[in-house]
Amino acid sequence: MKSTPNRYWQDIQPGETFDTESLTISKQDILDFAADFDPQPYHLDSEAAADSIFGGLCASGWHVTALMMRLLTDEFAGRHIELLGSSGVSRLRWRKPVFAGDGLSARITVTEKSPPATDSPFGYIDCDVEVDNQAGDQVIVLTTSLMIGVSPGAAANG
Amino acid sequence: MDKSPYIRSRWFEDLPVGEFHVFGSYTFSEKEIVDFGRKYAPNIYHTDPEAALDTIYRGLIASGWHICAVWMRMMVDYMERFATGVRDGRRNGAGTGFQDLKWLKPVRPGHTLTFTYEIIEKDEKVIRDRWGIIRSRNEAFNQYGELVFSFVIDILAERRPDTQD
């Protein structure tokens, strides 16, 4: 089963922004991710966390980046943009801890495009991504390069 | 034991540029790749081994953020295994950010990555009267010896108390 994307790399221009839905992170989510990937006291134990630099039990920074990916993936799927991967992240800052009950949403701003290689099914868009909590505080900010499907059969010079 | 060679037991001042560690190796299973993909990156090349065959990847691959999460686990386990004297993790602080992260090759079910860490720079700037920044280059190689993943991360390390002023 293959969905039919109806927005292509050619259709996306620098300056365009996408505001994602929001999702809420629970204490159980934080504990589950930490147990699998980041079993440190400030992600697993409320008492130890109170005494840490974060001031309370908070999500692993890699949990926050994974949730950013979920917000971004759902946003692009909802807009029928074919996301074919990413080559990397040139810069990311973890600005504030994420606590149980926080609601996260992302703003994705397209800053640049690079055309597809000959016969390549995708072109790149560079994006600045900001994830905010429900209070409007920025929790992470990053710059990433995403692979976006090109229009089938179209000249790739969009 | 006055001098531990390992990361978490030492102060910022005792961590030398050039120090190199191999955190260990980890084999990605199909189930773990799919579980992570369903939760955090639901594209068919991360979630559906059959449908993934028709994508540009010609099969299931791990989400890049899954590779990051496994890197973190490898680092935590490595530090725990070798930490002496510090049980609560105070001397290794939060990551403040990273740069130049590259996903260079797909990671497929059954692939084994070996993770390496090297301290490349120390920032003497004192954070909240207590922390310095250790900058490390981290790389992962697959079972063919190919570099598949690399990045540079800044992690806080606690400064020796008598030098905090």
Tell whether A86 is within 8 A of chain B (Cβ).
Answer: yes
- The secondary structure of A89-147 as a DSSP string is EEEEEE-S--BTT-EEEEEEEEEEEEPPPTT-SEEEEEEEEEEE-TTS-EEEEEEEEEE
Mean pLDDT (whole number) for B24-53: 98
- The torsion angle over the Cα atoms of residues A46, A52, A54 and A60, rounded to 10 degrees, is -70
Contacts of A51 in chain B (CB under 8 A): 88
Residue B47 lies in a domain: no
Mean pLDDT (chain B, rounded): 88
- Tell me whether residue B57 is in a domain: no
Confidence category of residue B121, pLDDT binned at 50, 70, 90: very high
User: What is the rounded distance in angstroms from the CA atom of residue A95 to the CA atom of residue A117?
Assistant: 36
Does B4 fall in a domain?
A: no
Q: Calculate what percentage of chain B has a pLDDT beyond 90.
A: 69
Segment A58-98, tens digit of pLDDT: 999 999 999 999 999 999 999 999 999 999 999 999 999 99
User: In this predicted model, what pLDDT tens digit does every residue of B57-113 receive, in sequence order?
Assistant: 999 999 999 999 999 999 988 887 766 554 444 566 789 999 999 999 999 999 999
Question: Predicted confidence band at A153 (pLDDT cuts at 50, 70, 90)?
Answer: low
Q: Per the CB < 8 Å rule, is A38 touching B76?
A: yes
Asked if residue B114 has pLDDT above 90, the reply is yes
| pLDDT tens-digit series, residues B141-158 | 999 999 999 999 999 988
Query: Is B51 domain-assigned?
Result: no
B102 — phi, psi (to 5°)?
A: -130, 130
Nearest residue of B to residue A77, measured between CA atoms: B43
pLDDT score for B1: 38
pLDDT of B161: 83
The CATH code of the domain that includes B156 is 3.10.129.10
Pairs of residues, one from chain A and one from chain B, whose beta carbons lie less than 8 Å apart: 104
pLDDT at A51 (0 to 100): 77
Residue of A nearest to B94 (CA): A53
Answer whether A70 sits within 8 Å of B41, measured CB to CB: yes
- Which one is predicted more confidently, B128 or B104? B104
| Domain assignment present for B48 | no
Q: Do A69 and B68 count as a contact with CB atoms less than 8 A apart?
A: no
Contact A65 B103 (CB under 8 A): no
Nearest-neighbour CA in chain B from A72: distance (Å): 9
ipTM: 0.92
How many domains does the structure of chain B reveal?
A: 1
Residue B55: its chain A contacts at CB < 8 A?
84
Is the pLDDT at A19 greater than 90? The verdict is yes
Q: Which domain holds residue B127?
A: 12-28+62-163
Read off the pLDDT of each residue in A114-131 and give the average, rounded to a whole number: 94
**Is the pLDDT assigned to residue B35 strictly greater than 70?**
yes
What pLDDT is recorded for position A45? 85
Q: Is B50 within a domain?
A: no
**pLDDT bucket at B5, cuts 50 / 70 / 90:** very low
Task: Calculate how close chain B gets to A93, using CA atoms only, in Å.
Answer: 4
Would you kindly state where each structural domain of chain A is located, as residue ranges? 9-149
Query: Do B69 and A62 count as a contact with CB atoms less than 8 A apart?
Result: yes
Q: Does B98 touch chain A (CB under 8 A)?
A: yes
Q: Provide the pLDDT confidence category of residue A3 given band limits of 50, 70 and 90.
A: low
A9 neighbors A158 (Cβ within 8 angstroms): yes
Mean pLDDT, residues B27-34:
98
Neighbours of A55 (CB within 10 A): 12
User: Minimum mean pLDDT among A77-91, A125-139, B5-19: which range?
Assistant: B5-19
| pLDDT value of position B11 | 84
Cβ–Cβ gap B43/A83 under 8 Å: yes
- Between these two residues, A1 and B9, which has the higher pLDDT value? B9
Q: For residue B132, is it within any domain?
A: yes
CATH of domain A9-149: 3.10.129.10
